Amino acid sequence: MAKSFKTFLKHTAKDFHNQSVNPPVVRASTIIFKSMQHIRKTQAKAQKNPTGGHYDYGRQGTSTTHILQKILTKLEESYHVFTTPTGFGSVFLAIFSVTRPGDEIIVADPVYSPTRLLTEKFLKEFNIKTIFYNPNDLKTLEKNITKKTKLIFVENPGSNSFEFQDLGKIISIARKNKILTAIDNTWATPYYFKPITFGFDMSIVSATKYYSGHSDVMGGSLAVNKKVFPKVYNAERITGLRLGPDDAYLITRGLRTLDVRLDRHRENAKKVAAFLSKNKKFKLLYPYKKDSYNFRMWKKYYSGASGLMGLKIKAKNVNSIKKFVNSLKLFGYGYSWGGFESLALHQEFRETGKRKYLNLSKDEHLVRFHIGLEDPNDLIADIKQALKHLK
């Protein structure tokens, strides 16, 4: 990318034909042509250049979705980016594209719980075996590799428990054994870490989160290298997993301020983390403690940290945890994250998935915070007044 990340986002995809700063929404099921010869020429171009935006049917996309794909391909520094109707759609597309009956995949234990259900339960019905590894002990990954292993699936940091892994070692293990790799990079986005240039074959981001930034869009992106592109391309065409133009437009508009928002999320989270780290009632799950393994692994691979963090709280009475969360005034209660607003969520055990390596005692509980774009001093004051409920 010739221009800096920040400048590129402000100047890309201007529509001088329609004289608009943002490209218009183009909705189409039927793509019209001037003649049959025109259809055949377009189809020939699509075969020659499948990433060029040459469509003959609306399921394949429109100029609106193509523009978003081109922007994200630049940001990811990848061969191509596929866009899907949800973030989880990109998880499914990545795994579905490269695995077949009889294959085995190795998955990070702290993955997003729907990803766990997909790999552990659903794929089992198709004779695809899943083995989970400990994010803090990569020997549990390496020792489970067999000739049938086709994919290593990483989520970093871990969902809700925020373990940071040694990504370089994972790539080294994968290359040594000629295994494909995929990573869910939603927490960082390519603003803070670029998986494809680092060596991953596939990189997933839930566009629902920071790309959109306003909690009103569903979408996902799957960046790929040239090696896996043909497999993902064929799988996407077969499944019809493609983002609609209205959501593509909103995500493109949200991307204009991605850097500004993430910088603010990072600064706000840093201030809130400094406050939380001083409280002995809980353990902060965020890269702040410089002598910790998590901090070292974060610092080694990332240029920044987003606004999502967790708390491991020890309390004999779970009701005190619920009262603590419910007494917050400036935090909304709900799933997802990555929007402009702060959110809080008490994570019940069923929501973390049936983890093998999650070290929680019966008196320990997880609370997740998304630190939004409000004044961080107001957020700190709000948390401070709620702490009286923790017993």
Q: Give dist(CA 289, CA 293) in Å, integer.
A: 9
Query: Side-chain half-sphere of 215: how many Cα atoms within 13 Å?
Result: 14
DSSP structure string for 73-141: HHHHTSSEEEEESSHHHHHHHHHHHH--TT-EEEEETT--HHHHHIIIIIGGGGT-EEEEEBTTBTHHH
Q: Given this model, what pLDDT does residue 205 score?
A: 98
Q: Given this model, what pLDDT does residue 299 score?
A: 97
Q: Given this model, what pLDDT does residue 360 score?
A: 81
Q: Which fold has domain 258-389?
A: Aspartate Aminotransferase, domain 1 (3.90.1150)
Sign of CA dihedral 18, 24, 27, 31: positive
Q: Given this model, what pLDDT does residue 353 score?
A: 66
- Domain boundaries 5-255, CATH class: alpha beta
Q: Given this model, what pLDDT does residue 281 score?
A: 86
Q: Given this model, what pLDDT does residue 23 score?
A: 86
Q: Give dist(CA 128, CA 90) in Å, integer.
A: 19
Q: Has residue 4 got a pLDDT over 90?
A: no
Work out the mean pLDDT of the chain and round it to a whole number.
Answer: 93
Interstrand relation of 202-206 and 220-224 (parallel, antiparallel or unpaired): antiparallel
Output the CA–CA distances (angstroms, integers) from residue 240 to 59, 66, 228, in the order listed. 7, 15, 18
The b/e string for 368-386 (b: 16+ C-beta within 10 A; e otherwise) is bbbbbbbebeebbebbeeb
Query: Side-chain half-sphere of 143: how many Cα atoms within 13 Å?
Result: 6
| 238 or 1: which leads in pLDDT | 238
Q: Given this model, what pLDDT does residue 222 score?
A: 98
Q: Give dist(CA 59, CA 243) in Å, integer.
A: 9
| pLDDT tens column, 83-142 | 999 999 999 999 999 999 999 999 999 999 999 999 999 999 999 999 999 999 999 999
Q: Has residue 390 got a pLDDT over 90?
A: no
Q: Give dist(CA 163, CA 135) in Å, integer.
A: 7
State the DSSP code for 249: H
| pLDDT tens column, 319-367 | 999 999 999 999 999 999 999 999 999 987 666 667 888 878 888 899 9
Q: Give dist(CA 49, CA 297) in Å, integer.
A: 39
| pLDDT tens column, 132-178 | 999 999 999 999 999 999 999 999 999 999 999 999 999 999 999 99
Q: Given this model, what pLDDT does residue 291 score?
A: 83
Q: Which two tokens stand for residue 143?
A: 């020792």
Give percent of the chain above pLDDT 70.
Answer: 97
| pLDDT tens column, 244-288 | 999 999 999 999 999 999 999 999 999 999 999 999 888 999 998
DSSP structure string for 172-214: HHHHHTT-EEEEE-TTTHHHH--HHHHT-SEEEEETTTTTT-S
> Cα angle at 336 between 332 and 341, to 5 degrees?
40
pLDDT band at 381 (very low <50, low <70, confident <90, very high): very high
Output the CA–CA distances (angstroms, integers) from residue 87 to 2, 7, 202, in the order listed. 28, 26, 14
Q: Give dist(CA 362, CA 311) in Å, integer.
A: 15
Q: Given this model, what pLDDT does residue 173 score?
A: 98
pTM: 0.94
Mean pLDDT along residues 226-238: 97
Query: 5-255 and 258-389: same fold?
Result: no
309 phi/psi in degrees, rounded to 5? -150, 170
Q: Which of 57, 26, 24 is nearest to 42 (CA)?
A: 57
Domain ranges of the chain: 5-255, 258-389
Q: Has residue 16 got a pLDDT over 70?
A: no
CB of 141 within 8 A of CB of 177?
no
Q: Given this model, what pLDDT does residue 1 score?
A: 53
Q: Given this model, what pLDDT does residue 78 score?
A: 98
Q: Given this model, what pLDDT does residue 94 score?
A: 98
